[in-house]
């Protein structure tokens, strides 16, 4: 998809530069704590002050400014089907699946923990939805699969059940290396082709405030060294994980983002990075995240301005705190969609089905999000006056007091002029009641079931599938029952 409107702003150019310099103050005066002894030598070698007793790293502002500008401003992530390769940069906007929710819910089977079988259903659903361009991770966490080999089964499912772009989990080097080898086997490419353009990505979440874990750093470096991409994404839950004000959350979030990005560029100059952002408010009564709220829209626009300042592709998110598919789910999701467009996002993580503050992925919510994404995309960015002469003739033809329902101007356009949401019911009350008085959630249930019934797996060469099966079986034997960390 393409964003049709220019990104919005909540900061002046001078204020963007001020946020940048305030973030450099945070990095130089307070620093980030790297629980990653493997990073300390590199950081010290580039002029950073490392306290080896705590892992605290204070950055030289000039060093950060030098390295943060090295990331490419745009790039692709290749899919198994080249026609489904996605582009990040310019006015492109890529919508991902939900990711990492521990639970799943649908109207017929209720709420329950995620399993491999349900993950497969959600992959099939995402494959069928034209609005889902990339699998951003486990649409639901398959907790029945052993954690130490879960990545093998999941990558196998992504490659065999769909031919869209995918993400690997960058928790340590093993999961990354296994995922990349499976991509090579499933896509039928060699190492040089893998490195020539990114074929996958992962997410490096900073443990806000100011803490960076080693497994995620190692995973990101393993990706970067083989030409793949990483989203550096602090989580700014205002009032909990970052200061409660918009200014405080933005400054801390930006400091974390550019500090970690600068380190990765020290290790692999020119590596592919996203400027990631997850800005949300917190319900101060319960401590739970509040998604799709006005503060999140402001934060997404501001983070987008910072991403453009550093000339990096921008990642944001779509989510809802609602516990069911109701009006709250709809307006919180639409606020998130609006924030992504207004912020100039290139990648929207958790784009289909995320609800209950990220604790659950919903089948009906997936269908609702897909419908809302298409609705926003259908907004016309301009009014075409090229048919003005026909318009005048249509007005002349109908005359005073008439109607345009049967006019030639209407009849030639009525099938394509308006966008029709898939889940809306525009019948009058009597017709709606006679047909069963269905709600949006009811129609969404019918919609996802129909998509799964018509699903067909994309073609995959028999030899490639067999190679994947052999790889998964061999790696499971080699990894064994111990957790790989």
- Give the three-state DSSP class for 223: helix
Contacts of 312 (CB under 8 A, 6+ apart): 71, 73, 261, 273, 274, 275
Beta strands 56-58 and 272-276 are: unpaired
Beta bridge partners of 222: none
CB 198 within 8 A of CB 231: no
Beta strands 110-113 and 103-106 are: antiparallel
- Give the three-state DSSP class for 484: coil
Give this prediction's pTM.
Answer: 0.95
Contacts of 440 (CB under 8 A, 6+ apart): 325, 330, 368, 423
Task: Give me the DSSP letters along 228-246.
Answer: -EEEEEEEEEBTTTB-SSH
Task: Give me the DSSP letters along 52-94.
Answer: TTTTEEE--HHHHHHHHTTS-S-EEE--SSGGG-EEESTTB-E
| Separation of alpha carbons 58 and 459, rounded Å | 51
Could you give the domains of the chain?
1-378+419-485 (3.20.20.480)
| Separation of alpha carbons 31 and 40, rounded Å | 13
Q: Quick one: how many helices (H) and strands (E) in the chain? A: 17, 20
- Give the three-state DSSP class for 279: strand
| Separation of alpha carbons 416 and 11, rounded Å | 39
Q: How far is CA 297 from CA 123, 206, 246, in A?
A: 29, 21, 11
Sequential pLDDT tens for the chain (485 residues):
999 999 999 999 999 999 999 999 999 999 999 999 999 999 999 999 999 999 999 999 999 999 998 999 999 999 999 999 999 999 999 999 999 999 999 999 999 999 999 999 999 999 999 999 999 999 999 999 999 999 999 999 999 999 999 999 999 999 999 999 999 999 999 999 999 999 999 999 999 999 999 999 999 999 999 999 999 999 878 888 888 899 999 999 999 999 999 999 999 999 999 999 987 788 888 877 888 899 999 999 999 999 999 999 999 999 999 999 999 999 999 999 999 999 999 999 999 999 999 999 999 999 999 999 999 999 999 999 999 999 999 999 999 999 999 899 999 998 999 999 999 999 999 999 999 999 999 999 999 999 999 999 999 999 999 999 999 999 999 998 766 65
Neighbours of 226 (CB within 10 A): 17
């Amino acid at each position: 998809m393409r964003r049709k409107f220019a990104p919005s702003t909540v900061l002046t150019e001078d204020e963007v530069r001020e946020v940048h310099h305030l973030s450099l103050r945070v990095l130089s005066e307070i620093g980030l704590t790297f629980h990653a002894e493997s990073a300390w030598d590199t950081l010290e070698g580039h002029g950073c002050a490392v306290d080896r007793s705590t892992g605290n790293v204070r950055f030289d502002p000039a060093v950060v400014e030098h390295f943060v500008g090295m990331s490419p401003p745009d790039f692709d992530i290749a899919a198994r089907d080249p026609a489904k390769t996605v582009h990040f940069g310019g006015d492109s906007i890529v919508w991902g699946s939900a990711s990492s929710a521990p639970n799943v819910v649908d109207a017929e089977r209720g709420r329950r923990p995620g399993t491999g079988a349900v993950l497969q259903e959600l992959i099939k659903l995402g494959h069928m939805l034209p609005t889902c361009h990339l699998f951003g991770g486990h649409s639901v966490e398959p907790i029945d699969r052993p954690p130490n080999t879960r990545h093998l089964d999941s990558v196998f499912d992504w490659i065999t059940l769909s031919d869209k772009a995918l993400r690997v989990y960058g928790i340590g080097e093993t999961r990354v290396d296994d995922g990349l080898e499976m991509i090579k086997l499933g896509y039928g490419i060699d190492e040089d082709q893998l490195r020539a353009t990114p074929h996958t990505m992962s997410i490096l979440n900073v443990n806000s405030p100011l803490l960076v874990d080693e497994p995620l750093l190692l995973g990101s470096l393993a990706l970067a060294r083989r030409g793949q991409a990483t989203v550096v994404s602090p989580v700014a839950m205002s009032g909990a994980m970052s200061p409660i004000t918009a200014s405080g959350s933005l400054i801390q979030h930006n400091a974390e983002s550019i500090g970690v990005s600068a380190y990765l560029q020290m290790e692999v100059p020119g590596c592919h990075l996203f400027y990631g952002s997850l800005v949300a408010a917190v319900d101060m009564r319960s401590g739970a995240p509040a998604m799709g709220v006005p503060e999140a829209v402001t934060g997404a626009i501001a983070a987008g301005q910072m991403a453009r300042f550093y000339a990096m592709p921008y990642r944001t998110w779509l989510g809802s705190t609602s516990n069911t598919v109701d009006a709250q789910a709809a307006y919180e999701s639409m606020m998130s969609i609006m924030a992504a467009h207004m912020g100039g996002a290139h990648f929207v993580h958790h784009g289909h089905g995320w609800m209950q503050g990220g604790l659950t992925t919903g089948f009906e919510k997936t269908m609702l999000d897909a419908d809302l994404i298409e609705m926003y995309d259908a907004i016309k960015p301009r009014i075409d006056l090229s048919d003005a002469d026909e318009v005048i003739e249509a007005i002349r033809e109908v005359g005073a007091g008439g109607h345009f329902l049967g006019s030639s101007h209407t009849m030639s356009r009525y099938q394509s002029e308006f966008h029709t949401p898939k889940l809306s019911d525009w019948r009058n009350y009597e017709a709606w009641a006679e047909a069963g008085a269905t709600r949006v959630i009811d129609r969404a249930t019918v919609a996802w079931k129909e998509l799964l019934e018509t699903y067909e797996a994309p073609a995959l060469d028999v030899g490639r599938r067999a190679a994947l099966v052999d790889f998964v079986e061999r790696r499971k034997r080699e990894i064994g029952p111990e957790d790989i960390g």
